Chain A
């Protein structure tokens, strides 16, 4: 059931524009004027890959987050950013965000499969439920607030299920190229998925053959029970926020969250590998805790208000971060996803200082041991659900 455990921590970075502090774009070196170019994203991901990180995630939203002229406005499609970066990186996992509420599971499944082909097995996807009225108006298909949260999360679970069935809808050896009979494929190895749910029905099979990983890695960010349940039902990884704040208030510490996640896994009867749970941490790093606090104060002053975050904000040194990660690891988390406050400053701190610090503590790899995202997490390439044994 479970494959060999990977020693040490898993480390991810969440990329969002120039960083997670709204004033980050005004920092020297932020390259805000290049935000909509390929080079901007390639350089960030290469920096993360130089630190041998497991993966990067790309935030996404259809709506513009702010109407303030002093905030970044606009963003590119996260899946296409990942695809632009894919061919010019070699090991790091690429995990774009997809909003399940407004997208077609068929399109998302083939896009993520394509990312997996273009990266030879480094694709993942982070599913997200739409919680913004603006996004509903941009699509004009359904009215905001008329469906309860449970229903939207059920739809997200269905979305994942359809993606996964489509990935399996071509068996690995479906392509036969049999000149004698003129057949390119063995259609016995192509499968209708016949999914029927409350929000959509999808017949299948996929137009895209089974991707290199078989099943790309599915992830979600979760702060509350309904989201832990979604992760338990359908994802491989879940990002959580120890010491942070969710919609329903404080999320609890790493141990408490982990117990909730495991309880949901038991409740839904999850089979196969248990969820890999990674803690989210927003980081403002400097040589000393005082210097880091001064940095944050300066950023907050520029923005005109205190930084707010669902994840815990750590203002300090890389050693402080390493301490937190080590304690989370002790509590049973698989690792962490770091949100750099200012990507141009805090990402190099992560890759060039935090990573060596974690290595000194015996907590992080010194070389990539695999070249697929599943491989980084010790997840075996799964058998095809439709294949006859």
Chain B
């Protein structure tokens, strides 16, 4: 049997991926949209559905950013509701470690796991700015160098809480009158840099023992954290060579934590555009790119690099000849763009601007065309057969274990992939014809009991 592909469906978040002006684009907030999207992914036998989180509306130039689809539900809440209208598909949500407390997060995820019969997953992220903190009790209290520490301690603490109930602790034996085997079930005391908590964790051990843990991170620190503590890792490396390198690097780190290579799944994010012919697919992709990067969006993207108002720049003209403003660090409160993680990619805005300018001059591209070239590339473009072949090649050549697919239309955007690509992957024998297990851990081919270890020790 060929190596098995793992697929996740990402309900698009609040960025320019979603072509909201398309007549096929529906509500981004009504439950019906989520139901339809989740059921399509389940029809396609996907491993899991993924939802990112929002904690503050993004701003640019001191105003709420209004060009992208925006407004979303609380993601764990909507995943829980989706558990009622799906049966097998995993339910994964991002939950921030900065503006939540471990007891509350661990309780919610354990509840999601119980009330979905073992389908919960947590994408652990750290928050990075005071801007977001303005919506929460703690405010912007966390120094930069403590963010990773807090995430690690949050995860280690959550794991300690989940493990505080042994399997089979609840006996509920009416005759003998014993509800739990041990009245100390759930007892814990944790003291660490970030937390000082004790008592009894209120949720008995959930069907998966621990929800599946996901991390995103391409940095050295992120890779090491994931190798120790995650069951799956999200990455941007969706190119074959870069993918192979990342894959080999991360998998090689597992052994020192006593884990096997297959205990951590590597899942790059990917977009797709299909067509009946290669030419049609390419034309479709071009159209989607132009829709995703309209004239206003092109200017907005350029402003994130130049860190200044560019409303008088013509998006159909050349890349601006002047240099970006560099005095404000992207993490400082003074940057033009707030609440947008991607801006952190532009560590050297002058170099980025030069790169853009050179590309524009070399190929005679307008600013908008350069932005499209830099930000609008689709991962898979082609006929269903071509896309299926490419995905299979990636996985069989150890460039990934599968993909997190994000469509550009809500809620029907996953349907073409499910209807046209999935059957071809199934024919190859590299993707399941039907679910074999009931839990997400089983879908992902993970060992029944968690193999993850805490990246930091908390005194428990």
Residues of chain A having any CB pair with chain B under 8 Å:
25-28, 30, 32-33, 35-38, 41-42, 61-64, 67-77, 79-81, 83-88, 102-104, 106-107, 110-111, 113-115, 117-118, 120, 134, 137-141, 170, 174-175, 177, 179, 181-187, 190, 199-205, 207-209, 302
Contacts and interface: CB of A to CB of B under 8 A. Distances in A.
A93 B99 CA distance: 30
Given A26-B177, A110-B74, A177 B21 contact: yes
A187 B70 CA distance: 11
Contact of B83 (A32, A36, A84, A208): A84
Interface in B131-157: 134-137, 139
B203 A75 contact: yes
10 contacts: A26-B174, A37-B114, A63-B202, A74-B165, A75-B202, A77-B108, A77-B111, A87-B35, A111-B74, A207-B57
**Most chain B beta-carbon neighbours within 10 Å: one of A113, A141, A185, A207:** A207
B135 A74 contact: no
B84 to A, nearest CB: 4
A116 B398 CA distance: 44
B189 to A, nearest CB: 9
B294 interface: yes
Contact of A25 (B30, B69, B172, B295): B172
Given A41-B115, A74-B185, A77-B108, 6 more contacts: A73-B170, A75-B203, A87-B35, A104-B137, A134-B200, A140-B195
Given A25-B174, A69-B183, A77-B108, A208 B71 contact: yes
A204 to B, nearest CB: 7
Interface string B88-110: 00000000000111011001101
If over half of B's interface residues share one DSSP class (helix, strand or loop), that class is named, otherwise mixed; here it is: loop
A141 B101 contact: yes
Contact of A36 (B68, B134, B204): B204
Interface in B16-63: 20-21, 29-31, 35, 54-57, 63
Nearest to A33: B172
Interface of B: 20-21, 29-31, 35, 54-57, 63-64, 66-74, 76-78, 80-85, 99-101, 103-104, 107-108, 110-112, 114-117, 134-137, 139, 165, 170, 172, 174, 177-180, 183, 185-186, 195-200, 202-204, 294-297
Contacts of A104: 99-100, 136-137
B71 A38 contact: no
A202 to B, nearest CB: 5
Given A38-B84, A175-B71, A183-B67, A63 B137 contact: no
A172 to B, nearest CB: 12
Contacts of B80: 80, 83-84
A36 B169 CA distance: 13
A183 B101 CA distance: 36
B369 to A, nearest CB: 17
Given A73-B183, A117-B73, A134-B199, A38 B101 contact: no
Contacts of A117: 29-31, 73, 78
A207 B72 contact: yes
A177 B137 contact: no
B199 A182 contact: no
A184 B73 contact: no
Contact of B84 (A26, A70, A85, A137): A85
A183 B20 CA distance: 10
Contacts of B63: 187
**Most chain B beta-carbon neighbours within 10 Å: one of A104, A141, A184:** A184
B118 to A, nearest CB: 11
Nearest to B190: A140
Contact of B57 (A64, A111, A179, A190): A190
A111 B134 CA distance: 18
Contacts of A87: 31, 35, 81-82, 84-85
A80 B77 contact: yes
Contacts of A202: 134-136
The 3 closest A-B pairs by CB, nearest first: A182-B296, A207-B54, A203-B134
A185 B177 CA distance: 58
Contact of A208 (B74, B82, B112, B183): B74
Nearest to A89: B84
B454 to A, nearest CB: 18
B108 A30 contact: no
Nearest to A181: B296
Given A63-B200, A114-B78, A185-B70, A74 B170 contact: yes
Nearest to B139: A201
Nearest to A60: B202
A76 B114 contact: yes
A87 B101 CA distance: 28
Contacts of B101: 102, 139, 141
A114 B203 CA distance: 23
B304 to A, nearest CB: 16
Contacts of A140: 195-198
Contacts of A67: 183
A86 B117 CA distance: 17
B86 to A, nearest CB: 10
Contact of A184 (B70, B74, B112, B139): B70
A184 B135 contact: no
Contact of B78 (A62, A102, A118): A118
Nearest to B101: A139
Given A26-B174, A104-B99, A209-B71, A64 B84 contact: no
B179 A76 contact: no
Contacts of B179: 25, 32, 69-73
Given A79-B77, A110-B74, A208-B74, A70 B177 contact: yes
A341 to B, nearest CB: 16
A73 B77 contact: no
Contacts of A62: 103-104, 107, 202
A200 B296 CA distance: 37
Contacts of A302: 177
